[in-house]
């Protein structure tokens, strides 16, 4: 039997060849990605459900924006987010508080032979949403009246001022092809049954989603013929891929954003889509240790928010003064309290409280853990001992909910962050009286707040709406149950030669990207 | 041999059942409502109810376990909670990438580690032996996720010689191989050290045996003695190690697949655990366990084939 043999020379030769092979630059794929009209981006997971009624959200909305019609889209005017009609409509007008008339552009065709985009598609799309997982966005919808092939009226069951911003511009406002969805069995998951937009969609699970120019699209051509969205779960891996030149645009974590802002890499720009997250430290007003408002106010004055913004977020986030985020109607410019340890001590003395010990619960993520440690140090300086309790996401989101156990009774302090849509009404809805024990974990009620919430939904006069939301935040602050912390940005790094477009909540809209 | 195989396969079924049972228990011990975690804190009650129904969450755990085992026995691993796609199809899409990565990682580790171990044993205490020893311990000590990050930073970000993310263009073998280099390097590096140390130790033991001395006394050429007689016996424990290494590498690939954004079983399990997508977690772990058992079984059979003493004892 012949034996396999080797010599030292042979071995060294093989090893050298193997090494050289692994280092050969011939496979370099890091050439700048825009060449040839291809844009390379990151998505954080597979698009499992593209159907607007049953989607998870996030990048699925991005896919819908490229392939499906919408009646309205977000724009930014100065520092404020607002909306405008899309290319798909020649008319989108609010006739009165409960009627919105629309007229579709003639001749826009669905793919796969499903014919022209019609008003009946709008009716089908919106009315099916009332029974979907996203029905909350269509609570105010009564029905859609079709008045012609291309015309119709959206009829609301009550005046709802944010309908355009919250419902029509966002993912649930996507219009699907009635016949195609019916042919697909009433809902769809990983493929669109028909598209009517500048791109067609194809995905390789676990690898990427590819948008290619739709040959049947007669509307405005996008700047890029092809968009490749690579599935990269971890934002850090995406940042490295951007550094390696394999992506043209990626979301940034707060530490990388700080690094980029300090020393911007070559040919790179950073764009902030929006800051629609609001974070605060909450206090349970019903807890025996925190029932005295002087104790809660003492805590408000004891926390040094500026240090949190620097220490935990490297100065990359906007300081918060309430729950209404930057760019939205009703954002406050300052809080009614400031960092003042002497005042905090005086308030504690006035309340006759000493040796107070509290538990601060937070999600076990890096930035919030750092924020919790800073708060711990701040409160220790005024004589309050704080135990930081990091909690996994599962139990964290159940802590204040009465239906999920008894933890709500033990809640004292916690760091919370909510996200919102670009209208002030959504941020306020979690603090009305009937949310106590659900999402109002601070457990206060206020009749004026509840009344203003209803008024804010109906009010269409911007000045009056602004006043309503400013007053609502004042009521919240006066409970002493909140220490406003920050609004985290949705920041993207991208090549300087492209201008990106993103919704205020961070979803990219590739069809509105431009080459500069 | 047939009896041996039957016994081993029977044991494998028991092991798989135990793994699934353990997995079921662990998944249900994770704090928090699985439906809320999977669908987000503000999911509608209808969506939560639909999820619970799909996952049989309203049934006792033992019953969920029996339903699952019953379905799995017929090849039905259930449906993905979100996309409604068959879990089997999703696993089949990804498993090739993981197997390719493991084969490449272990392949290059074997190509380098086994000859290095032989050479070190043939010339003990030489400079080659000492260098091999230092490198072996060094590579064993560095965790693969760290190697992944360094490799990515040096070869992809700084030098831009190799691609950083993905598995390459479908249908383009060259591109796919290029995308395999860094992850395979990262997960295989520590195995170079393991294999070199193991082969060296086994070879040193075998080289002192009487039959090797006799072979030398008969005047056989050193190469024939080393590779024809000594390595054939010394490789046996290494085969077992490689078999177990394949199994271990399936778990090592999690880091590489996440860092290099490669599709694969490891990343699939990680993503599914984060999303509490139980059918995917259970299906993928079941398949990974099955693979591990198969590889170990194969390595045992290989040893029996190589070593008549083992064969006769079966």
Instruction: Please compute the mean of the pLDDT values over residues A232-247 and round it to a whole number.
Output: 93
B261 interaction partners in chain A (CB closer than 8 Å): 230-234, 237-238, 241
> H-helix or E-strand containing B98?
helix B87-122
User: Is residue A7 one of the residues assigned to a domain?
Assistant: no
Best residue of B261, B274, B275, B278 to probe chain A, by most A CBs closer than 10 Å: B261
In this structure, the answer to whether residues A308 and A284 fall within a common structural domain is yes
Chain A residues 49-68 with a CB less than 8 Å from chain B: 49, 54, 56-57
User: Would the CB atoms of A240 and B157 count as touching at under 8 Å?
Assistant: yes
Q: Tell me: pLDDT of A31 over 60.
A: no
pLDDT band at A18, cuts 50/70/90? very low
- Where is B70: in which H helix or E strand? helix B61-73
Determine the Cα–Cα distance for residues B247 and A81; give it in Å rounded to an integer.
Answer: 53
What per-residue confidence (pLDDT) applies to B312?
A: 67
By the 8 A CB rule, do B270 and B258 touch? yes
In chain A, what is the straight-line distance between the N-terminal and C-terminal CA atoms, in Å? 69
Report how far apart, in Å, the C-alpha atoms of B52 and of each of B24, B29, B48 are.
Answer: 15, 16, 6
pLDDT top residue among B50 and A172: A172
Query: How confident is the model over A360-374, as pLDDT tens digits?
Result: 999 999 899 999 999
Q: Is the pLDDT of residue A415 over 50?
A: yes
Say if residue A428's pLDDT is above 50: yes
Does pLDDT of A210 surpass 80? yes
pLDDT digits (tens, 9 = 90+) for A294-317: 999 999 999 999 999 999 999 999
Higher pLDDT, A49 or B82: A49
Q: Which whole-number Å values give the CA distances from A111 to A44, A106, A186, A200, A214, in the listed order? A: 27, 15, 18, 9, 9
Within 8 A of A49 by CB-CB distance, chain B residues are 82-83
Query: What ipTM did this prediction achieve?
Result: 0.82
- Determine the pLDDT at residue B186: 92
Domain with A40 in it: 35-47+199-268+494-515
CA B263, B269, B273: angle at the middle one, nearest 5? 135
Residue A333 forms contact with B (CB below 8 Å)? no
Tokens at residue A411, please? 């809640």
Stated as kind and residue range, the H or E segment containing B28 is helix B2-29
Residue A256, pLDDT above cutoff 70: yes
Same domain, A240 and A126: no
Using the beta-carbon criterion (under 8 Å), do B93 and A393 form an inter-chain contact?
no
Q: What is the interface size between A and B, counted as CB pairs within 8 Å?
A: 157
Residues of B in contact with A18 (CB under 8 A): 108, 111-112
Listed by number, the residues of chain A in 197-256 with a beta carbon closer than 8 Å to a beta carbon of chain B are 204-208, 230-234, 237-238, 240-241, 243-246
Residue entry with tokens 């699939």: B268
When CB atoms are compared, the residue of A27, A28, A395 closest to B32 is A395
> Which of A251, A285, A244, A226 has the alpha carbon at shortest distance from A412?
A285
Q: Where are the alpha helices (DSSP H) in A34-159?
A: 59-67, 119-129
pTM score of the predicted model: 0.84
Residue A157 has pLDDT above 70, yes or no: yes
Residues A40 and A172 in one domain: no
Within a domain: A9: no
Q: State whether A133 and B263 contact (CB < 8 Å).
A: no
Distance CA A320, CA B113 (A): 58
Question: Tell me, what DSSP letter sits at residue A502?
Answer: B
Q: Which residues of B touch A8 (CB under 8 A)?
A: 119
> A56 and B40: CB-CB below 8 Å?
yes
Based on the fold, state whether residues A468 and A321 are members of the same structural domain: yes
**Chain A contacts of B32, Cβ < 8 Å?**
392-398
Residues 101-140 of A with CB under 8 A from B: 133-136
Residue A17 confidence (pLDDT): 45
Q: Which residues between 10 and 39 in chain A have a beta carbon less than 8 angstroms from any beta carbon of chain B? A: 11, 14-15, 18, 22-25, 27-30
pLDDT at A20 over 80: no
A263 pLDDT above the threshold of 50? yes
The answer to whether position A15 is within a domain reads no
Contact flag B261-A398 (C-beta cutoff 8 Å): no
CA B169 to chain A, closest CA, distance in angstroms equals 10
| A16 found inside a domain | no
pLDDT beyond 90 at A142? yes
Q: Are strands A482-487 and A151-156 parallel, antiparallel or unpaired?
A: unpaired
Measured between CA atoms, the residue of chain A closest to residue B173 is A27
The residues near A283 (Cβ < 8 Å, ≥ 6 apart) are A290, A296, A299, A412, A413, A442, A480, A481, A482
Domain boundary (A146, A171, A196) is at A196
Q: Does the pLDDT value for residue A323 go beyond 50? A: yes
Has residue A502 been placed in a domain? yes
* Residue A46: DSSP 8-state: -
At residue A509, the pLDDT reads 94
CATH assignment of the domain containing A111: 3.90.76.10
Q: What's the pLDDT at B46? A: 75
Per-residue model confidence (pLDDT) at position B311: 67
User: Does residue A57 belong to any structural domain of this protein?
Assistant: no
Q: What pLDDT score does A190 carry? A: 93
> Taking 60 as the threshold, does the pLDDT of residue A206 lie above it?
yes
How far away is chain B from the Cα of A45, in angstroms, using its nearest Cα?
A: 8
pLDDT at B249: 84
Are A328 and A223 in a shared domain? no
Domain boundary among A172, A196, A220: A196
The number of domains in chain A is 3
**Rounded to 5 degrees, what are φ and ψ at B159?**
-85, -25
Taking 70 as the pLDDT cut, the residues of chain B under it are 1, 41-42, 311-314
Residue A21 has pLDDT above 70, yes or no: no
Contacts of B86 in chain A (CB under 8 A): none
**Partner-chain contact A237 B165, CB within 8 Å:** yes
Rounded-to-integer distance, Cα A410 and Cα A284, Å: 9
CB contact under 8 A, B44 and A15: no
- Are A25 and B247 within 8 A, CB to CB? no
Q: Rounded to a whole number, what is the distance in Å from the CA of A13 to chain B's nearest CA?
A: 12
Shared domain check, A203 and A300: no
Query: Are both A133 and A191 inside the same structural domain?
Result: yes
> Quick one: A388 and A509 in the same domain?
no
pLDDT, residue B42, reads 65
Q: Who has greater pLDDT, A515 or A32?
A: A515
**Comparing B70 with A184, which gets the higher pLDDT?**
A184
Q: Touching check for A403 and chain B: CB below 8 Å?
A: no
Residues of chain B positioned with their CB less than 8 A from the CB of A4: 227
Task: Write down the pLDDT at residue B313.
Answer: 66
Same domain for A439 and A365: yes
Q: Is residue A54 part of a domain?
A: no
Q: Give pLDDT, residue B314.
A: 59
Residues A483 and A499 in one domain: no
Given A152, A180, A196, which residue is the final one in a domain? A196
User: Encoding tokens for residue B37?
Assistant: 């975690």
- Tell me, yes or no, if A354 comes closer than 8 A to chain B by beta carbon: no
Sequence length of chain A is 516
Question: Mean pLDDT over residues A438-448, rounded?
Answer: 96
Whole-number pLDDT of residue B79 = 85
The CATH number of the domain holding residue A424 is 3.10.105.10
Residue of B nearest to A235 (CA): B259
List strands edge to edge, sheet with A413-419.
A318-319, A482-487, A277-283, A413-419, A357-363, A385-391
A258 and A143 in a common domain: no
Mean residue pLDDT of chain A comes to 91
CATH number at residue A41: 3.40.190.10
> Which alpha helices (DSSP H) does A111-158 contain, by range?
119-129
Contacts 24+ apart (CB under 8 A), B145-150: B145/B186, B145/B255, B145/B256, B145/B259, B147/B185, B147/B186, B147/B187, B147/B189, B147/B190, B148/B182, B148/B183, B148/B186, B148/B187, B148/B255, B148/B256, B148/B259, B148/B260, B149/B259
Q: Chain A contacts of B108, Cβ < 8 Å?
A: 18
As a whole number of angstroms, the distance between CA B233 and CA B227 comes to 10
Flag the least confident range among A112-121, A138-147, A417-426.
Answer: A417-426
Q: Enter the DSSP assignment of A273.
A: -
Calculate the CA A22 to chain-centre distance.
41
* Secondary structure of residue B169 in the 3-state scheme: coil
| pLDDT score, position A2 | 40
Retrieve residue B314's tokens. Answer: 């079966």
Contact A102, A144 (CB under 8 A): no
What value does the mean pLDDT take over residues A266-275?
Answer: 92
Six token digits for residue A477 = 């602050």
Nearest CA in chain B to A240: B157
Residues A203 and A328 in one domain: no
DSSP structure class, residue A239: H
């Amino acid at each position: 039997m012949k034996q396999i043999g080797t010599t030292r020379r042979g071995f060294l030769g093989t090893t050298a060849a193997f090494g050289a092979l692994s280092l050969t630059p011939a496979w370099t794929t890091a050439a700048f990605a825009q060449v040839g009209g291809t844009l390379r981006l990151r998505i954080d997971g597979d698009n499992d459900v593209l159907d607007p009624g049953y989607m998870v959200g996030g990048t699925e909305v991005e896919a819908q924006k490229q392939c499906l019609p919408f009646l309205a889209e977000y724009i930014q005017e100065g520092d404020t987010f607002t909306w405008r009609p899309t290319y798909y409509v020649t008319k989108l007008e609010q006739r009165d508080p409960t009627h919105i008339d629309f007229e579709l552009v003639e001749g826009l065709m669905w793919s796969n032979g499903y014919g022209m985009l019609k008003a009946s598609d709008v009716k089908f799309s919106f009315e099916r949403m009332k029974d979907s997982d996203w029905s909350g966005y269509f609570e105010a919808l009564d029905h859609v009246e079709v008045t012609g092939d291309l015309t119709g009226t959206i009829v609301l069951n009550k005046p709802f001022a944010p309908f355009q911003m919250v419902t029509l511009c966002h993912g649930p406002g996507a219009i699907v092809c009635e016949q195609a969805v019916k042919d697909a069995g009433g809902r769809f998951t990983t493929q669109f049954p028909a598209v009517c937009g500048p791109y067609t969609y194809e995905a390789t699970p676990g690898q990427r989603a590819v948008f290619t120019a739709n040959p049947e699209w007669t509307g405005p051509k996008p700047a890029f013929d092809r968009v490749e969205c690579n599935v990269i779960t971890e934002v850090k891996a995406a940042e490295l891929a951007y550094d390696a030149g394999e992506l043209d645009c990626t979301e940034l974590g707060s530490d990388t954003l700080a690094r980029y802002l300090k020393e911007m890499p070559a040919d790179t720009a950073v764009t902030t889509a929006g800051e629609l997250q609001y974070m605060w430290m909450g206090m349970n007003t019903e807890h025996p240790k925190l029932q005295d408002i002087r104790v809660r106010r003492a805590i408000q004055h004891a926390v040094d928010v500026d240090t949190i913004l620097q220490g935990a977020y490297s100065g990359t986030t906007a300081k918060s003064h309430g729950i209404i985020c930057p760019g939205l109607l009703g954002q406050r410019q300052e809080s009614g309290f400031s960092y003042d340890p002497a005042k905090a001590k005086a308030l504690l003395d006035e309340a006759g409280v000493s040796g107070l010990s509290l538990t601060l619960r937070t999600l076990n993520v890096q930035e919030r853990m750092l924020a919790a440690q800073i708060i711990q140090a701040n409160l220790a300086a005024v004589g309050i001992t704080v135990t930081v309790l990091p909690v996994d996401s599962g139990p964290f989101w159940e802590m204040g909910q009465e239906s999920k156990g008894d933890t709500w009774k033990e809640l004292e302090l916690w760091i919370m962050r909510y996200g919102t849509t670009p209208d002030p009404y959504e941020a306020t809805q979690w603090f009305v009286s009937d949310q106590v024990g659900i999402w109002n974990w601070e457990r206060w009620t206020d009749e004026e707040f509840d009344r203003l919430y209803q008024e804010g939904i109906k009010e269409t006069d911007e000045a009056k709406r602004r006043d309503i939301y400013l007053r609502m935040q004042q009521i919240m602050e006066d409970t002493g149950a909140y220490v406003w912390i920050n609004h985290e940005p949705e920041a993207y790094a991208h090549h300087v030669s492209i201008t990106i477009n993103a919704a205020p909540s961070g979803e990219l809209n590739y069809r509105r990207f431009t080459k500069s | 041999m047939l009896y041996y195989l039957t016994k081993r396969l029977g044991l494998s079924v028991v092991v798989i059942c135990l793994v699934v049972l353990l997995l079921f228990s662990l998944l249900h011990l994770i704090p928090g409502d699985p439906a809320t975690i999977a669908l987000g804190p503000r999911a509608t009650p209808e969506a939560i109810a639909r999820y619970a129904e799909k996952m049989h969450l309203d049934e006792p755990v033992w019953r969920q376990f029996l339903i699952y085992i019953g379905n799995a026995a017929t090849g039905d691993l259930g449906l993905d909670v979100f996309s409604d796609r068959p879990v089997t199809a999703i696993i089949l899409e990804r498993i090739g990438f993981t197997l390719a990565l493991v084969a490449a990682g272990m392949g290059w580790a074997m190509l380098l580690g086994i000859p290095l171990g032989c050479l070190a044993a043939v010339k003990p205490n030489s400079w080659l032996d000492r260098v091999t020893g230092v490198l072996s311990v060094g590579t064993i000590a560095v965790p693969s996720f760290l190697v992944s990050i360094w490799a990515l930073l040096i070869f992809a970000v700084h030098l831009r010689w190799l691609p950083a993310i993905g598995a390459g263009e479908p249908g383009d073998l060259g591109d796919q191989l290029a995308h395999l280099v860094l992850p395979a390097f990262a997960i295989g590096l520590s195995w170079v050290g393991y294999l070199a140390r193991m082969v060296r130790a086994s070879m040193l033991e075998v080289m002192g045996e009487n039959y090797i001395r006799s072979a030398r006394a008969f005047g056989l050429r050193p190469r024939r003695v080393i590779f024809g007689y000594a390595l054939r016996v010394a490789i046996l424990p290494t085969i077992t190690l490689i078999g177990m290494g394949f199994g271990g590498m399936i778990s090592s690939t999690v880091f590489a697949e996440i860092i290099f954004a490669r599709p694969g079983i490891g990343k699939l399990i990680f993503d599914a655990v984060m999303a509490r997508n139980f059918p995917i977690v259970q299906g993928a772990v079941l398949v990974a366990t099955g693979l591990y058992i198969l590889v170990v079984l194969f390595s045992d059979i290989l040893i029996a084939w190589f070593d008549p003493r083992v064969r006769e004892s079966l």
